[in-house]
């Protein structure tokens, strides 16, 4: 194999970028990669999964504030 399974650190953007990336992460996990996703604690679409480890960090905006801004 030209590439061996390894460790990946992912810092995704919220929205459709994440929805597309999540599919890629699922496939990489099937191929043996260990994945850590880092996201703010006010995330909307980025959720936990058994495919990757989710780590969050605090930000000054509450999740409700972000959702209101999106609306």
Q: What is the mean pLDDT of residues 36-42?
A: 90
Q: What is the mean pLDDT of residues 33-37?
A: 95
pLDDT of 5 reads 74
pLDDT of 34 reads 94
Q: Tell me which long-range contacts 61-68 makes (C-beta under 8 A, separation of at least 24).
A: 66/42
**What are the structural domain ranges in the chain?**
7-57
The pLDDT confidence band at residue 2, using thresholds 50, 70 and 90, is low
pLDDT over threshold 60, residue 1: no
pLDDT of 14 reads 78
Q: Are 42 and 62 in contact (CB under 8 A)?
A: yes
Strand ranges for the chain from DSSP E: 7-10, 34-40, 53-57
pLDDT over threshold 90, residue 33: yes
Q: What is the mean pLDDT of residues 2-8?
A: 77
């Amino acid at each position: 194999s030209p590439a061996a399974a390894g460790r990946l650190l992912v810092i995704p953007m919220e929205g459709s970028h994440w929805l597309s990336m999540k599919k890629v992460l699922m496939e990489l996990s099937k191929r043996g990669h260990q994945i850590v996703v880092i996201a703010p604690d006010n995330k909307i679409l980025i959720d936990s999964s058994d495919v990757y480890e989710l780590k969050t960090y605090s930000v000054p905006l509450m999740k409700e504030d972000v959702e209101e801004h999106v609306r």
